[in-house]
Amino acid sequence: MNKKKILPFCLVVSAVVVGCQNQQETTLTDNPLLLTYETPFEVPPFDIIKDEHFRPAFKEALRQHNLEIDSIVNNQDDPTFPNTIVALENAGTLLGNVSRVFGNLNSANTNDSIQAIDKDLAPQLSAHRDEIMLNAELFARVKAIYDNKANLNLDLEDAKLLDETYKGFVRSGANLSAEEKEKLKKINSELSVLTTAFGQNLLAETNSFELVVDNEEDLAGLPEALKSAASSEAEARNKAGKWIFTLKNPSVMPFLQYAENRDLRKQIWDAYQKLGNNDNDFDNKDNLKKIANLRLKKANLLGYPSHAAYVLEESMAENPQNVYELLNRVWAPALEKAKVEAADIQTEIAAEKDTFEVAPYDWRYYQEKIRKSRFALDEEEIKPYFSLAAVREGAFATATKLYGLTFIALNNVPVYHPEVEVYEVKDKSGTHLGLLYADFFPRESKDSGAWMTSYRSQSRKGGARVAPVISIVCNFTKPVGDQPALLTFDEASTLFHEFGHALHGLLSDVRYRSLAGTSVSRDFVELPSQIMENWAADPEVLKSYAKHYKTKEAIPDSLINKLVKAGTFDQGFATVEYLAASLLDLDYHAATSPIASDVNAFEDAAMKKIGLIDAIIPRYRSTYFRHVFAGGYSAGYYAYIWSEVLDSDAFAAFKEKSLYDQGTAASFRRNILERGGTGNPAEMYRQFRGADPDPIYLMKKRGLN
């Protein structure tokens, strides 16, 4: 559960409103979501948007989108690229704007009202999309253009938009019979309800748990900052004088890492690993089983043997077999290394005169002890050098050195929560590139994990560049008293990671918004994010940004050397828990027959098949695997390791010359970051690197060669 807890950064918003008789509605002329945003940089006016604005805004946006589609369908002129393909691209602007605001708030600052809208109206957006994508007359116009594309003299970006538009219709069922289309609509509607319920159940159950400690002796081993945060949490919950730990990552993970009380470690671990699996109102077993089987049913209806085959057709991997091949290639050495690590832990347990077998809730605790003894590396000694402000500025400085970007803090831009920061991003020439929102701290209204999203994608209008509005959302420990937010090194890497996604969105320079920024295949989209983690860990870069929050002194070479020596420590565990989740995802979605067994039995069988040891569980167990059952990563969680092959090789291109080599940076920007989804990912990478990626750099990085 270390650093890549990435939720989908291209949010699929499940909410469309068609009416609300019992809720007070503002008039359309009063609704800020429907008016031209008279704000700096035309950002959403968060300061005046209220929950009651969403229903009428969606209703009007939906109406306008339908009119736009009708105008395309009823156009008496012969179908052309401008009057059909470009018109489709530009349709639904208002609906997209409203959906982005709603969806991002639902993920980062939700409440009962927003969740009710999402739950009640999710199927209606699904139905609206189906009405468009299954419109026979509309598809006939698209197909006529596609069939004649050889005679249209389209440039590469126009041709890509035409291909993606046509494939979008076909993959959405445009070629199905009328009866099959009705079946597909029903499946899509059910899936929208189930995936929404899965995510809401997970958030509710996460928020419902608290480990209350009232005896200070039970806090033995915990860092003072963690104890202070737990004390503050207790005060906020009207339990002053106690300590409360939650299932949010900044609370549960360090507790497992440092708490000497094994019974309490087991208690919080059991709550964590049984999220969504407690046979209560928030149980997700039935939801996810239905989701997996409905996805299979949909894939079969569309002519694919499995959901994975359907999804991966559009990826670099191309098919499930290629994904299994990569995962299994890395699995064997990773598992062997994890077994060695488990034996080391067992030796440590024996040295303390204990006889129990290492359990999952022991792993982080004993590996931290081994890390300290083997490398003299104490994470608490490191954290003072990784204040949030220092890490943020380090990420900014890296982008400045690579691409000449500057970041200017703004205080005149409306935000959706007081903790949110906003920066204007300018190019080396001083040209405005876009805005960056940053939301760093956990709260009950926010999903767990870290992700990047957007409020406006980059595009071109009348030849002029429309600047993107990008957001990164994280869950780092809040400041306590006079002490600023101090990050673990993994959290620092997470910030660089999400910032890499943000750069992908900010530096995009394409004509069409649907091809902009992160609109690429899942197994390519993590390249721009993961490559930034390499700079986060580089000794030269560390010296420039890791500054002690009190003394302002740079991190000493002695600590950097310890970090470097410990770089592949515990990578057996980290790789195995990730691969186990990736293989579990694939097993659910590569299935060619419906899942009949109990979900827990299915998961157990999947893990026994690959030989997962008892001391490790998948990074995400089935019932809280939000990425694949409430996000956009179904049959795609493998993407992180696939992209790591790319990012390890790409960073090697820099290291072969210099850390900030301007020629290499310009090529990476030109061929990867600016192009969005306008080209074939493999070809784009070859244009940057001059060759296909070599997996050897990944194996070295993880210490598995």
Report whether 428 contacts 405 (CB < 8 A). yes
Treating both helix axes as pointing N-terminal to C-terminal, what angle do 54-73 and 93-108 enclose, rounded to 10 degrees? 150
d(CA 140, CA 151): 18
Q: How far is CA 210 from the centre of its chain?
A: 26
Q: How many CB atoms lie within 10 A of CB 551?
A: 9
d(CA 368, CA 382): 13
Report whether 268 contacts 248 (CB < 8 A). no
In degrees rounded to 5, what are phi and psi of residue 658?
Answer: -160, 165
In degrees rounded to 5, what are phi and psi of residue 470?
Answer: -115, 150
CA angle 533, 534, 537 (to 5 degrees): 90
Report whether 211 contacts 218 (CB < 8 A). no
What the block records as the tokens of 704 is 């598995």
Structure letter (DSSP) for residue 7: P
d(CA 166, CA 152): 15
Go through 231-269 and write b for each residue having 16 or more CB atoms within 10 A of its CB, e for each that does not: bbbbeeeeeeebbbbbbbbbbbbbbbbbbebeebbeebb
Report whether 586 contacts 638 (CB < 8 A). yes
Q: Which long-range contacts (CB under 8 A, 24 or more apart) does 85-91 make?
A: 85/142, 85/145, 85/161, 85/162, 85/165, 86/161, 88/138, 88/142, 88/165, 89/161, 89/165, 89/512, 89/513, 89/514, 91/65
Residue 141 region by backbone torsions, left for phi larger than 0, else alpha for psi between -120 and 50, else beta: alpha
Q: Which of 639, 523, 607, 575 is nearest to 273 (CA)?
A: 607
Mind giving me the DSSP string for 207-251?
A: HH--EEE--GGGGTT--HHHHHHHHHHHHHTT-TTSEEE-SSHHH
Is 553 a residue of the active site?
no
Q: Which of 498, 577, 603, 644 is catalytic?
A: 498
Token look-up 């197909």 returns 143
d(CA 552, CA 384): 10
Could you write out the three-class secondary structure of 468-512?
A: CEEEEECCCCCCECCECCECCHHHHHHHHHHHHHHHHHHCCCCCC
What the block records as the tokens of 501 is 């996604």
- CA-based Rg of the chain, rounded to a whole angstrom? 25
Distances (CA, A) of 175 to 126, 135, 159, 179, 187: 18, 10, 21, 11, 17
Residues 6 or more apart from 439 whose CB is under 8 A from it?
108, 417, 419, 420, 421, 446, 471, 472, 473, 474
Active-site positions? Answer: 498
